A and B are shown apart, each in its own frame.
Chain A
């Protein structure tokens, strides 16, 4: 066993316990300092996000990494939680399973929102913190770099993180951007002050919207919100006039009846000069009469329409899962192959050193017997010896590498030790 991890996520740890277990950046740094003292010579990386806490440990040399039980106790001690509470909800894995888990996590396959990209930055931060606190090492370094490479492959070779999942993001990126090329010359009308409107406005602002008018039944509330969002407040009685001037409407009132009926809209429509109108009706019940959506030049989307698009995107992400998992499997195999091959490095070094030593002594003997050889001839002969040794070593090294893909090549290493009388 060389690698180990324990941890829990939204899948296994209840929210109350997750909140107590979570580490701030300072707490994570302190925990890593304690890790270094508690487990000298071992590598450790702590990944703590709002949905998961995971501690990865590794040991490159003969000493094994801390056992999962020790790691659970360590986490419990760091956060002042009874270890008995954590034991049933934290999972532990070793070696290949631990690597597979990290690669899945970094690729967003274990996230609450499948394929979400923020986890990549969090994995990078965890690794950077371990480097700062000097608990990172070659094994965890290789593992985290491979995890980031895997995440990049999953992001570029599959569409798992491409489709948007939140209603405001889908509304702006998939629908508003389909109608309008730019938003900096558009008038945005916000009707009501629902929570979803804030988020939608944030996306619209990011897309360039500047001219925003907020209309609410309570003028004071509209002014308050306008001040917060850098918008202009309008009177609710001017709603139809504002509708004439608007290009995009976001509506989130708590009204129980439609705020804009078809008859009201038809009156405003004549004064719009044929400009297209996009309406994001995020209210429930709806603020805009659905028949308005049948008018030419009007693109009306209710929260159900946008929700259906989000669901379709979610299904698209799910369909990408097998492809993403195949990449994770492939990268895990490659990493474990490299890792196993590293374990054969001392034997290869011994073998190479033994052959070099024998070759050098044979060359010395040869050059003593042939003193007439000049430097050029000696260099040529020396080079031939080196090439010969390298060619002889090539086959065993290739066999070792191939064997490493299916696990540590203990059998071959043992055979080499016995055949060439290599000492441990």
Chain B
């Protein structure tokens, strides 16, 4: 059994999700009595393989699931895939997977492009690191769910505005439900992103106190982009709250949710392709201490070894 689990690769569950997505897409083309079962079957098979893969890594790698950018992306993909499967089973006539599975596959792709090197851990920073990573994960997943609900709202509103009956096999949830979901997601995303950022600052402060970090690297690109993301999510939540009592409030909320997903995507891409000292190994405590110039040289020499996690501030 262990041998079987160890052979599960990212390709296994990514392929399962891709087949489930193709089944969802075929709703628009033709009717089928067995498509639902095939789609759920492939999505469930992907979930099982994904779960076993993460479980295997947790059991055999140090300090996963949030210890590297790679694991972070895979866990975010797992959460979205779980949500997709849940919603597909609960609402079989809604093509939820058509919206969610591309995000799942995108996150798996991002995982493949990101570093697998674990973030450096110490007993003092481990708890704050886990809190920081979990909040950022929750914020990202909330942004993704909110954007999907927002996109569905716009499609449903467009259909109702054109005064068309629902397309065959493409029945969306009601505007009321989607607007409520989008609004709540925006609020959750703002709170959890703020908490993630704050916990990152605490984490840096703890690291600094222990002499492992000279000072908090406020000008680090990751901190800057995370700060920007948090600022945007809080702004979006405030705008959403302000618009909620206006007749066009749901539309504003839906559009804001899509912008939030865009900002998050840019942030992830920046993390994947930009250089940063975020998550780099802290300097060793005690003498001999390297000079600031030597530390900078070391940082320049090690950009590829520093995993550009999507907001895991160390």
Contacts and interface: CB of A to CB of B under 8 A. Distances in A.
B175 interface: yes
Given A179-B174, A276-B175, A174 B247 contact: no
Interface string B166-177: 101000111111
Interface in A138-172: 156-159, 162-164, 170
Contacts of A162: 168
A156 B176 CA distance: 30
Interface string B153-166: 00010011101111
Given A174-B166, A179-B174, A309-B164, A274 B31 contact: no
Interface string A199-233: 00000000000000000000000000000000000
B160 A299 contact: yes
A178 B170 CA distance: 12
Given A181-B176, A269-B247, A301 B166 contact: no
Main secondary structure of the interface of B (DSSP, over half): loop
A75 to B, nearest CB: 39
Given A159-B31, A170-B165, A312-B164, A181 B173 contact: yes
Contacts of B168: 159, 162-163, 316
B33 to A, nearest CB: 6
B248 interface: yes
A159 B165 CA distance: 14
A174 B171 CA distance: 9
Interface residues of B, number: 25
A269 B165 CA distance: 27
Nearest to B247: A297
A164 B163 CA distance: 15
Nearest to B175: A179
Contacts of B159: 178
A61 B212 CA distance: 98
A157 B31 contact: yes
Given A178-B156, A276-B176, A305 B163 contact: yes
A393 interface: no
Nearest to A156: B33
Interface string A248-281: 0000000000000000000001001111100000
B250 interface: yes
Nearest to B176: A181
Interface of B: 31, 33, 156, 159-161, 163-166, 168, 172-177, 244-251
Interface of A: 156-159, 162-164, 170, 174-175, 177-182, 269, 272-276, 295-299, 301, 305, 308-309, 312-313, 316
6 contacts: A170-B165, A175-B163, A178-B156, A181-B177, A274-B245, A296-B246
